[in-house]
Structure 1
Amino acid sequence: MSGGVIDEQPAAEDKPQRRLRRSLIVVILIALLPATVYAKLTRNISHIEVTREDLGDDRPAKASTDALNILVVGSDQRDDRYAGERADIIMLVHLSPTRNEAAVISFPRDSLVQLPACRSGERRPGQQRRIGMINSSFSFGGIGCTWKTMEALTGIHIDHFVTVDFTGFKGMVDAIGGVDLCIPEPIRDDYVQLDLPAGWQTLQGEQALGYVRTRHSIGDRSDIGRIQRQQDFVVAMAKKTLSGWTLFNAVRMLGFLNTATMSITTDPALTLGVMLDLGLITRRLSSDQVRFVITPWRYSTSYPGRIEWLQGPAKKLFQSIAADKPLPGTKLRDTQSTVPPPSETDAKHYADHAGPATTLTVPFPPEQPLPTTRPCHQ
């Protein structure tokens, strides 16, 4: 299980009291936000209406519970909103009905999948039904097409979406004073202009963007390794954002909210108030209540450098999320693999490096950055 969210672990005897006190403080702070500030933050957020015409009539049924499924897309949008914009990060966040558990599924951008037909719009040409890269839906049909593609592939009813652009991502990291993260080995990647030594680092905005994009100079150089680093970073950034150092400092928090709201696009129903409420809920989750998962995958034997999904395990995973059930073979808070390994029959056709759904253990950084010479896991 990837490090989870996000809270320091107080002593058992004062944990409930501390959580209640902090929650009350945050509620009061939000209530005291000047109406003009709240209105400005609200205006900062861009909205795109995803319509029935975008999604079609054959959508997956919504679960009979109050669970929420939120599609999160990180795009490489820079100055020109639509010039070659791609979805570099695709995640699906599942929140349980009582909001006491969460699962985050990451979808490798190198996945070859069956893409549905999507109509044109947002100055985009639309998408033809074909086999293609999963992230191409965003390039050809925008967020509405990506939403339709993800529902078609997973059978999961999506309730909301959030997109974040790269420039805004850098600004959010800078607004909270950088993010502390363990770098397991030196990274030198000229493509993303990243040069980092091993050890604990405080990554500023440009470095953070390079870290979540790098793949050529660290680990196995695969998209799977990049996803694992992205998940690590999400956890560390959430911890920093929702820590007392940020949360209870009005200047830092308002700076972060201003940058964040200018950097995201959502559906109209996902308002600032809803997002703040979900943020408060998320802060109360501990590391054993959040599961990060990578869609069960294998390296393609037909298209080198591409990824194909393990259909059996992936289907079980998606069905569990769609029906708001525990992940297959485990309870949500278990730290074991969420899917069984490939069968002997399947293994004959898979490449040597097939990978089941992956869960991660992320070391949380200390409250203050450590010297980079100190080993990460001490």
Structure 2
Amino acid sequence: MAQQFPTWGPRPPLRRRRVGRRRRAAYAATGALLALLLLAGAAAGALYLRFDGNISEIDIDAALGTDRPEDEPGESLDILVLGSDSREGENEVYGRQQGGPRADTAMVVHLAEDRRGGTVVSIPRDTLVHRPACRDADGEEVPAADRVMFNEAFAVGGPVCAVKTAEAMTGVRMDHYVEVDFRGFEKMIDALGGVEVSLDRPLRDPDSHLDLAAGDHRLDGETALALVRTRKSLGDGSDLERIQLQHSFIRALAQEVRNVGVVGDPRRLYRLADTATGAVTTDSALASVSELTALARRLGDVEPERLQTVTLPVGYDRADPNRVVPLEPQATGVWDALRADVPVPEHLTEGSDAEPGGEAEPPALSG
């Protein structure tokens, strides 16, 4: 049965199953992470060398050295998950790259020490932050900058700069890094056999070529990607609108993986594991099937009702209403909660424009 996507107020009509949209890649990176790791876990006994060779890796620990936040004691984990809008290689079919690849979806996934709970914190791509000095693809140092969009860090210095910026912003040490691009996301959805969603009214977007009637749908990879890239059909089309929907897709995709039932089908298990391990780039410490398997088992222990999803508390920037800035002290409180390994208190998101009912809530969509 398709999971229902609840609506809020008079806003866009997707139930919790709707899915984010944005000018570029707005896919549910955390859902992709859950799918990847759970599938890798299912493939624990199959062809390690074959699948190890699939995984692209970045040695972030070596690049960043010791100039990082202290790792909190205990066995909690924090993972930076990015969705890249790269148009290189197979991704050329999605259009020309305007400037360097950017991270249009960014989430910090916190897995609790007790292994039963977790928190996903979405960072809006348009959030203005301080970016530390980073090195570009040629090894040249790019000076630090203030009031730049969070996703600019990835464009400037790739995964290493993205992790460095996330750690400077949050004060949380990232134990791991996972990146999924357009094509990787699409392939993973197809390998799963699609994802079931339910819409409470039609959803159409000429830009993403999406045309879905109200009701239940099983989306293939191409349609799922179009769905999560759509933005103009909902609210003000902002990144904040997109993220609210994205959290719904996380749960839908994670549930799909849990229901897939492929352990008894060796050929399908192989295909899924091969696709999943080939769809991502990770930090070097995570870039093996054995490590992915261990993390998959840990994710499998998380109870769905204890997987908390929040968006970093933000407000529209007064100088540039197309950008947002972290609200203080709420934003700091969110990162404090992760470091303390406790759920984010509900009051910290009150008054955030990222939440339904925020003080500067975007205009409602009609029609």
TM-score normalised per structure 2: 0.78
Task: Answer yes or no: is the 8 Å Cα contact 1:211–1:229 preserved in 2.
Answer: no
Match of 1:353 in 2: 360
Deviation, 1:28, is: 11
Distance 1:135 1:127 in 2: 16
CA contact (8 A) 2:40 2:273 kept: no
Determine the C-alpha separation between the residues in 2 that align with 1:93 and 1:327: 13
CA distance in 2, matches of 1:315, 1:29: 37
Structure 1 partner of 2:315: 298
Structure having the higher Rg? 1
Which of 63, 70, 73 is the equivalent residue of 2:72?
Answer: 63
Q: Call closer, same or farther: CA 1:255–1:98 in 2, change over 3 Å.
A: same
In structure 2, distance between residues paired with 1:132 and 1:312: 20
Q: Measure the CA separation in 2 of the matches of 1:115 and 1:29.
A: 38
1:125–1:141 Cα contact (<8 Å) kept: no
Higher relative contact order (CA 8 A, sep 6+): 2
Matches within 5 A, 1:213-362: 213-270=229-286, 271-328=288-345, 337-339=346-348, 341-342=350-351, 352-353=359-360
In structure 1, stretches of 5+ residues that fail to align are: 4-25, 329-336, 344-350, 356-378
Distance 1:180 1:227, change over 3 A: same
Shift of 1:31: 5.6
Q: 1:125 to 1:62 in 2, by over 3 A?
A: closer
The residue identity in structure 1 corresponding to 2:152 is: S
Q: Tell me the residue number matched to 1:45.
A: 55
Is the CA contact 2:86–2:182 (under 8 Å) kept in the aligned structure 1?
Answer: yes
Segments of 5+ residues of structure 2 without an aligned counterpart are 6-38, 92-96, 353-357, 363-367
Post-superposition CA distance 1:324-353 (Å, at most 9, x none): 23423xxxxxxxx3516359xxxxxxx941
Aligned to 1:360: none
**Is residue 177 of structure 2 the alignment partner of residue 157 of structure 1?**
no
State the alpha-carbon separation in 2 of the partners of residues 99 and 248 from structure 1: 26
SS at match of 2:124: coil
For each residue in 1:174-211, what CA deviation from the matched residue of structure 2 results, as whole angstroms up to 9, or x when unmatched? 01111001223322222222221222211111111111
How far is the alpha carbon of 1:286 from its aligned partner?
Answer: 2.5
2:20 is aligned to: none
SS in 1 for 2:86: coil
- How many Å apart are 1:300 and its aligned residue? 1.9
Question: Quick check: 240-249 or 140-149, which moved more?
Answer: 240-249
In structure 2, distance between residues paired with 1:92 and 1:299: 21
Asked whether the 8 Å contact 1:65–1:324 carries over to 2, the reply is no
- 8 Å Cα contact 1:120/1:127 also seen in 2: no
User: Matched residue pairs, number?
Assistant: 313
Is the Cα–Cα contact under 8 Å of residues 124 and 142 in structure 1 kept in the other structure? Answer: no
Of the three residues 69, 72, 78, the one matched with 2:81 is 72
Report the CA distance between 1:253 and its aligned residue: 2.6
Cα distance per residue 1:121-149 (max 9 Å; x no partner): 36787463222110010011100000000
2:220 aligns with 204
| Distance (Å, rounded) in 1 between the aligned partners of 2:70 and 2:168 | 12
Q: Which residue of 1 aligns with 2:32?
A: none
Shift of 1:173: 0.2
- Which residue number corresponds to residue 33 of structure 2? none
Equivalent residue of 2:82, what SS?
strand
Match of residue 11 from structure 2: none
Using a 3 Å threshold, how does the CA distance of structure 1 residues 158 and 338 change in structure 2: closer, same or farther? farther
CA RMSD of aligned residues (A): 2.8
Q: How far apart are the structure 2 equivalents of 1:318 and 1:56? A: 22
**Distance change >3 Å, CA 28–CA 129, structure 1 → 2:** closer
Residues 1:150 and 1:108: Cα distance change in structure 2 (over 3 Å): same
Distance 1:171 1:352, change over 3 A: same
Task: Give the distance between the partners of 2:303 and 2:236, measured in 1 at CA.
Answer: 30
Q: Which amino acid in structure 2 is aligned with residue 353 of structure 1?
A: A
